[in-house]
Amino acid sequence: MTTTLKGELGTVKGSEAATGVVLLILPESSKTWTTLAATECSPESRVTGSIAAELAPTLKSQTTVKLSVAPGSVKQVNILGTTVEPLLVAFSEEATVEQAGELTSAEAVEVT
């Protein structure tokens, strides 16, 4: 199963992300990232919500931008004056993701 994701640039307090810039990542057309199959120990569960990934570096034009997701580090994201609280949920509980990766584009971009 593949879920198309979308990202929205936002700002956060410097205490939550050193660069102050994050990408809020969430499913594009629904609220569900994926559905976890039922097991003997747990029922089927949808994974829903959003995560915030810090972008680095900023103020530098390049083709690769690093993403870093640290559980619980970003509490509130400001996107065009709207405050969003990133939260990922699975089995009716807060779920966490810790990941680092890169976004690559054909042309150089600058995150400001």
Q: What is the pTM of this model?
A: 0.82
Q: What is the pLDDT of residues 8-62, one digit of tens each?
A: 999 999 899 888 999 999 999 888 998 889 889 888 999 999 999 998 888 889 8
Number of structural domains (the chain) is 1
CB-based contacts of 39-48 (< 8 A; 24+ apart in sequence): 42/91, 45/90, 45/91, 45/92, 46/90, 47/88, 47/89, 47/90, 47/95, 48/88, 48/89, 48/90
Share of the chain above pLDDT 70, in %: 98
